Amino acid sequence: MGEMKVNEKEIVVPGETLAEGMDYLPSYGTHRAGDKILASRLGLVSVEGKVIKLVPLSGVYQPKRGDTIIGQVVEILLSGWRISTNSAYPAVLNMKDATSEFIARGADLSKYIAIGDYVIAQIINVTSQKLVDLTMKGPGLRKLKGGRIINVNANKVPRIIGKQGSMVSMIKDYTACRILVGQNGIVWIQGDDPNKELLAVETIKKIEREAHFVGLTDRIKNFLDANKAGITKLS
Amino acid sequence: MTYDKRFDGRKFDETRHMEAKAGVIKRAAGSGWFKIGNTEAYAAVYGPREMYPRFLQNPEKGVLRCHYNMMPFSSAGDRVRPGPSRRSKEISMVTERALRPVVDLSEYPNAVVDVFIELPQTDAGTRCAGICAASIALADAGISMSDLVCSISAGKVEDTMLLDLTYEEDSHEMGVDIPMAMLHNSKQISLLQMDGELPPEDLKRAIELVKKGCDQIYEVQKQALKNRFNETKD
């Protein structure tokens, strides 16, 4: 009979034995060695039925198909743009996938999206060699004008968004800011009141710091209530 | 003459006091700090990130790159001249080879994982402390690893086999120093160097000592990584 060696939600280190026996199945972040299941990275243990997986706590973003990311244009190519993705691999946004507008042959692409601009786009494909393709055709996908960009740990993005976007909509309600969170850990914030914009920045930093605390939503709600009028200085 | 009492009063198979921490360098993807006696090592991991110059890229898997550096004021003797030296380049290379068996970089073709090891204070066993710190840092950076690497030196002063030599013992005229690195689960040895001469049975004894020392190091490393996230937990 198989036996778990660690508890659910426990933090495990690489090489640590998670379970013995053949009753459990290794999933993300784990591997089987003989009749044991070992951790292959640092993470939180999560057991779903017979499947053991690890929830990553740290690490650089790795592009995945279907992710919506925010990236900066770093280079203009013959028929598109190269976008930095906050990961080891830059992505390509093809002209065809960028806009439904007609772009004449040989047109200056920087008139549409210039170097240094930020875009919110979706990953349509990642090859085995990690060539990443993006699209800007889809609801909400566009070039970002104005606002400010902050970087957060990509593994904390689900906490910032919350269940069905509850966390981010709470911040939006309190700060009257427009906020977009890319799965690659880049967040775009735009507000009319600079003090409230700073409050949004601080709140997101707080979520990132306290992502694995219990009662995160209440803590954030209290923090927002205490600073309703916005803040004037970043800590 | 025999060496029957150690300079610092430790038992022959006893390590110096060890401390470790993870996540000490905020801007790095992962970092670790490892202190054993008076030897102190910081390791910072950056990446996986794009690798330049491009001809160094490997399209099949990511590259692990280690940089070992002793700070100018770190040693008890002369100032260490900054910049790469023959010694530090060698240690960078053996560190990389000691860590490579555990890290899995197949998910990161064309990318590089940089490990920077800095030693602000040294008292022998620097490459071992560096490997221990780097192992913590790599795990903290969320790199896929099959195991943790522990490293410590063993040796012989006059007729006595010792674990974890200090500089006084290491530089003893009748001293032999053997730094070793061991993968925790499989007990495979990924680093073994020797300075001096030793009969085979003494080397076997040294490996036994290191095995014991590494088990203690592993506990320290594991605790450091777990505390990284527990400290801030309510």
Are A211 and A175 found together in one domain?
yes
User: Taking CB atoms and an 8 Å limit, are B50 and A89 in contact across chains?
Assistant: yes
Across residues B65-74, what is the average pLDDT? Answer: 96
A-B Cβ pairs (cutoff 8 Å, strict):
98
Q: Judge whether A232 lies within some domain.
A: no
Q: What is the pLDDT at residue A1? A: 60
What pLDDT does residue B231 have?
62
Each residue's pLDDT tens digit, B3-40: 889 999 999 999 999 999 999 999 999 999 999 999 99
Q: Per-residue confidence at B1, pLDDT binned at 50, 70, 90?
A: low
Domains in chain B, start-ordered, CATH in brackets?
18-227 (3.30.230.70)
DSSP-assigned letters across all residues of B18-85: EEEEE---TTSSEEEEEEETTEEEEEEEEEEEE-SSGGG--SSS-EEEEEEEE-TT-SSSSPPPSS--
Residues A73 and A28 placed together within one structural domain of the fold: no
A98 and A74 co-located in one domain = yes
User: Which residues in B lie closer than 8 A to residue A56 (C-beta atoms)?
Assistant: 142
Last residue of a domain, one of A98, A123, A144: A144
Q: Which of B111, B142, B184 sits opposite A58 (nearest CB)?
A: B142
Alpha helix stretches (DSSP H) within A83-193: 95-98, 157-161, 166-175
User: pLDDT tens digits for B71-119?
Assistant: 999 998 899 999 999 999 999 999 999 999 999 999 999 999 999 999 9
The verdict on A135 and A178 lying in the same domain is no
In this predicted structure, the answer to whether residue B232 has a pLDDT above a threshold of 70 is no
Q: Region A193-215: what's the mean pLDDT?
A: 92
- pLDDT score of B76: 87
End residue of a domain, out of A112, A144, A176: A144
Kindly state whether residue A231 falls inside one of the protein's structural domains: no
Does residue A62 lie in a domain region? no
Is the pLDDT confidence value at A97 over 50? yes
Residue A13: which of B48, B62, B148 has the nearest Cβ? B148
Within a domain: A221: yes
Cβ atoms B142, B29 nearer than 8 A: yes
Neighboring chain B residues of A128 at a CB cutoff of 8 Å: 109
A38 and A95 together in one domain: no
Q: What is the pLDDT of residues B110-157, one digit of tens each?
A: 999 999 999 999 999 999 999 999 999 999 999 999 999 999 999 999
Is residue B233's pLDDT more than 50?
no
In terms of domains, do A178 and A109 share one? no
Q: Are residues A48 and A101 in the same domain?
A: no
Q: Mutate one of A5, A12, A13, A159 to test the B interface: name it (highest B CB count within 10 A).
A: A13
Nearest to A62 among B107, B183, B229 (CB): B107
Strand order in the sheet with A11-12: A11-12, A43-48, A51-56, A25-26
CATH number for the domain spanning A152: value is 3.30.1370.10
Query: Does A140 have pLDDT greater than 90?
Result: yes
Residues on A contacting B at a C-beta cutoff of 8 Å: 11, 13-16, 29, 31, 33, 38, 40-43, 56-60, 62, 87-90, 128-130, 155, 209-210, 212-215
A42:B48 CB<8 A: no
Interface mutation vs chain B, best among A42, A53, A55, most B CBs within 10 Å: A42
**A-chain residue closest to B221, CA distance:** A13
Strands A132-135 and B30-36: unpaired
User: Which residues from chain B sit within 8 angstroms of residue A38, using beta carbons?
Assistant: 146, 185
- Same structural domain, A152 and A222: yes
Whether residue A153 sits in one domain with residue A127: no
Number of domains comprising chain A = 3
B61, with CB counted inside 10 A (0-12, 13-18, 19+), is: middle
Same domain, A18 and A73: no
Query: In 3D, which of B160, B157, B159, B154 has the Cα closest to residue B189?
Result: B154
Residue B67 confidence (pLDDT) = 97
Domain that holds residue A128: 68-144
Is B102 close to A38, i.e. CB distance below 8 A?
Answer: no
Among partner residues A58, A130, A210, which is closest to B109 by beta-carbon distance? Answer: A130
Q: What is the CATH number of the domain that holds A103?
A: 2.40.50.140
Last residue of a domain, one of A119, A144, A169: A144
Mean pLDDT of chain A, nearest integer: 93
Among A15, A43, A58, beta carbon nearest to B30: A58
Q: Of A44, A60, A62, which to mutate for an interface test with B (greatest number of B Cβ within 10 Å)? A: A60
Whether pLDDT at A200 is above 80: yes
Model pLDDT, residue A175: 94
Render pLDDT for B185-218 as a digit per residue (tens, 0 to 9). 999 999 999 988 899 999 999 999 999 999 999 9
Q: Which residues of B touch A127 (CB under 8 A)?
A: none
- CA B214 to chain centroid, in Å, comes to 11
- Could you tell me which residues come within 8 angstroms of residue B223 by beta carbon, excluding any fewer than 6 positions away? B20
Asked if A31's CB is within 8 angstroms of B48's CB, the reply is no
Residue numbers in B near A42 (CB within 8 A): 139-140, 142, 225
- pLDDT, residue A199, reads 95
From the list B49, B59, B140, the residue facing A42 with the nearest CB is B140
Q: Residues A21-77: pLDDT tens digits? A: 899 999 999 999 999 999 999 999 999 999 999 999 999 999 999 999 999 999 999
Burial state string for A45-84 with b = 16 or more CB within 10 A and e = fewer than 16: bbbeeeebbbebbbbbbbbeeebbbbbbbeebeeebbbbb
d(CA B209, CA B197): 18
Residue A158 has pLDDT above 80, yes or no: yes
Q: What is the ipTM of this complex?
A: 0.91
Distance CA B210, CA B151 (A): 8
Do the domain assignments include residue A196? yes
B100 interfacial to chain A (CB closer than 8 Å): no
A63 occurs within a structural domain: no
Same domain, A134 and A81: yes
Whole-angstrom Cα distance, residue B31 to residue A105?
A: 49
Q: What is the CATH number of the domain that holds A45?
A: 2.40.50.100
Instruction: Quote the pLDDT of residue B234.
Output: 43
Distance CA B146, CA B218 (A): 14
Residue A61 lies in a domain: no
Q: Tell whether A37 and A87 lie within a shared domain.
A: no
